[in-house]
Amino acid sequence: MKKYYLDEKAYITLKTLDFSKLDIDYYIDDKEKCIATDNLRDLLVFINENIVSYGLSEQEECSDYGKRLYYLYDYIYYQK
């Protein structure tokens, strides 16, 4: 599995996600502040679904939480 290392801001956001809905093999290493998976595409889709579901207002404006989710998405994406 490839590890995707996170800074403090991205790691805190990662820990707010409900991974019970994620149907891929992954593990979160709290000591190294990273997430590991062989399925980057599905992980990014999962984060994007959270952005759409929880990070946007009814007027499609990005909330503070949505901005943190976008930051997490980008932080992981740029390590590919």
Q: What would the pLDDT profile of 68-80 be if each residue is shown by its tens digit? A: 999 999 999 999 8
Q: What would the pLDDT profile of 3-38 be if each residue is shown by its tens digit? A: 999 999 999 999 999 999 888 999 999 999 999 999
**pLDDT value of position 18:** 94
pTM of the complete model? 0.92
Q: Where are the domains of the chain?
A: 2-77
Q: What does the alpha-carbon distance between residue 55 and residue 4 come to, in Å, rounded to a whole number? A: 22
